[in-house]
A and B are shown apart, each in its own frame.
Chain A
């Protein structure tokens, strides 16, 4: 296998131009995704999907200006602040010390990006300033890729560059990869029935070229190269940003010890991952697959057990009430006789069949027997 290749997306220098989105669509012939104005920010495409393989997230944050004493002023600002504090108080009941100090030392956090997406209508208050976060999201090409693990056809495969690619001539559109991805990247293109996602320009890589998005990026926010090199470069970049007084800079998906064994495409972020629509602690679902099969095995055994208990209990009931004799011996032997006769001549079968019915009637008594059920 060739060297594992990857993307390092440094969002601190992304200018939100979307050249990557356009280049990706052009090169890979990706259909349009609706041209919808989302009215949330300068984000047109919303999220990664079957028809969006690079997605530039655009986050407009208003954060309060900190006056002497660290108190924020202004209505919008203080509202954001309280929302933010309430948020952290709820989620991080334990061990939030580090988080807190980071926030205070750093830029603070804009709170308007709440779960309900509220607060967007508020313009920047008189004493709040704006921050724009931009990040070009892409398939992470996980070390432990759930989509690849669960694909039942082998359409998804690991390339010689360590990337994860769908073979469009194999995929039968089962859709299993879609909910399996912990990042919500891959999706089924309903008009064509198959699953699609970023290939890290497999064809360009085979031709010795860098992927279209990285090539088109005017600020080198998207960097392409051997993953090991990119990781070193990213570490240096984070250190430099910290030295420059931007302690909020952090790497996302760079650690080979995380829940997906590290991402082939990782990021430098300036806020919590969930602010960019990324899961804060993703995990490959197949990590728990052996446990799942063990529980399913237990359930399967329970099913057979419950079934066996039902039959045994019923047999005991029959023995107690003396009904078993009729069914067990008479019916069985008559049926056997019936089979023997059927193998020989068909004419006698009907006669014995009638006899069988009579045996059944004798067993059940007269009640209800005239009403059918083949008795």
Chain B
């Protein structure tokens, strides 16, 4: 905290001109809790699917089951939040009208579609394997389903390997989604945001693994949670240090409170994960702290973006400095 206040004092008061103090750019219209919760669930689902793949490859069936179910549930509920966020939810399928590499949201829609489909197959096969009695009941009452259940284990294993790819993208594309805007606090953070979100995703998936797996099998989940906490904390610190004036919104007001809470919760949760061992209380505390920290980062990032857009200072001052340094932006028109 002390260090933070010192940093604040070191940022010189920026003088600039504006139109009656009005914003130059529009603030993001995305709502709470939809957008930040989607960011959290997408990250959770993405990292959990990678965890499921590795748990499967190393023969940790119980952790694999947890991770597969977490990945599927996260992706499905996340997609629900994303659809509810649309101004015209009934047109959500228009997202798949085009495949557009210049739009991170288009790429994200395709990634989410593939990822949620694959994680659902992976989770279905894992659940079927874990509940053989129920599965056999279905196949006896519905003989046609037996062909599907016979295929499920192989399909599930293939799907979970594929989700390792879609999952790692799921957990990081949302950083590009935010960065690819005119919002200075997001755009200028395009180096650190992916690592912030990847770390946050790792921490949240590790937390889910710790909370919903027998402790003896949750060892890797604890390690994932701790590493994720380290990555998230480091990326956040580097980001605020490098951005200077543009990064100020991450330290101010509600956004600042959320980001500081995230840092405390994540660092604390990560530390606890390393010492939790077989203690149920410590495991639960650590898992909950990491989950809360991961949520706080997403809410904080959205709020910082809003703040960054609402104050013309963050738009005008860096652009003015660029001009006065004789380095105007240039993206020439194609001849």
A residues at B contact (CB < 8 Å):
38, 40-41, 46-47, 49, 57, 59, 86-96, 99, 111, 113-117, 120, 143-144, 146, 149-155, 170-176, 178-188, 190, 192-195, 256-262, 272, 274-289, 291-293, 295-304, 306-311, 313-315, 317-318, 323, 327-328, 331-332, 335, 338-339, 342, 346, 349-350, 353, 360, 363-364, 367-368, 371, 373-375
Contact = CB atoms under 8 A, between A and B. Distances in A.
Nearest to B62: A374
A153 B228 CA distance: 34
Contacts of A178: 26, 28-29
Given A303-B198, A309-B223, 6 more contacts: A115-B21, A174-B87, A190-B29, A278-B24, A279-B319, A296-B194
Given A113-B17, A175-B87, A289 B220 contact: no
A296 B172 contact: yes
Contact of A335 (B61, B168, B317): B61
Contacts of B219: 314, 317-318
Contact of B15 (A90, A170, A300, A304): A90
Contacts of B280: 368, 371
Given A172-B94, A314-B219, A306 B227 contact: yes
Interface string B253-283: 0000000000000000000000000101000
A184 B216 contact: no
A99 B326 CA distance: 12
Nearest to B216: A364
Contact of A96 (B171, B183, B324): B324
B309 interface: yes
B320 A261 contact: no
Nearest to B54: A311
A288 B183 CA distance: 13
A280 B319 contact: yes
B331 A179 contact: no
Contacts of B40: none
B182 interface: yes
Contacts of B46: 303
Nearest to B35: A175
Contact of B19 (A277, A303, A306, A349): A277
Among A41, A261, A314, A323, chain B packs the most CB atoms within 10 A around the CB of A314
B312 A115 contact: yes
Given A91-B14, A113-B20, A335-B61, A181 B198 contact: no
Interface string B23-39: 11111111000000000
Contacts of B76: none
Given A113-B20, A277-B18, A284 B26 contact: no
A299 B176 CA distance: 11
Contacts, number: 376
Interface residue SS majority, chain B: helix
Interface stretch (B1-9, B100-108, B154-162): B100-108
A163 to B, nearest CB: 15
A342 B132 contact: yes
A47 to B, nearest CB: 6
Given A257-B332, A279-B315, A300-B171, A113 B18 contact: yes
30 contacts: A88-B15, A114-B21, A115-B16, A117-B20, A120-B20, A150-B180, A154-B98, A155-B94, A172-B89, A179-B27, A181-B182, A195-B87, A256-B333, A260-B331, A277-B22, A279-B24, A280-B319, A289-B102, A289-B180, A292-B179, A292-B194, A297-B172, A302-B231, A303-B47, A303-B198, A307-B51, A314-B220, A327-B59, A368-B215, A373-B213
Contacts of A328: 59
A301 B168 contact: yes
Contacts of B324: 91-96, 99
A188 B183 CA distance: 16
Interface in B191-240: 191, 194-195, 197-198, 201-202, 206, 213-217, 219-221, 223-224, 227-228, 231
A99 B217 CA distance: 67
B233 to A, nearest CB: 13
Nearest to B171: A303
A342 B168 contact: no
A302 to B, nearest CB: 6
Nearest to B28: A179
B301 interface: no
A173 B132 contact: no
A182 B20 CA distance: 18
A281 B108 CA distance: 29
B17 A115 contact: yes
B19 A113 contact: yes
A47 B331 contact: no
B287 to A, nearest CB: 14
Given A172-B86, A296-B176, A261 B333 contact: yes
Interface string B51-63: 1001100111110
B128 to A, nearest CB: 10
Nearest to A195: B87
A187 B28 CA distance: 9
Contact of A327 (B14, B60, B328): B60
B292 interface: no
B153 to A, nearest CB: 8
B169 to A, nearest CB: 6
B181 A261 contact: no
A232 to B, nearest CB: 16
B217 to A, nearest CB: 7
A195 to B, nearest CB: 8
A302 B61 CA distance: 24
- Shortest beta-carbon contacts, A-B, top 10: A173-B87, A193-B87, A277-B19, A259-B329, A117-B21, A299-B194, A310-B223, A172-B91, A342-B132, A261-B333
Nearest to A302: B198
B223 A274 contact: no
A183 B22 CA distance: 12
B22 A47 contact: yes
B328 A342 contact: no
Given A91-B15, A306-B202, A307-B50, A280 B168 contact: no
Contacts of A288: 179-180, 187, 190
B220 A311 contact: yes
B266 to A, nearest CB: 14
B124 interface: no
Contacts of B22: 46-47, 117, 277
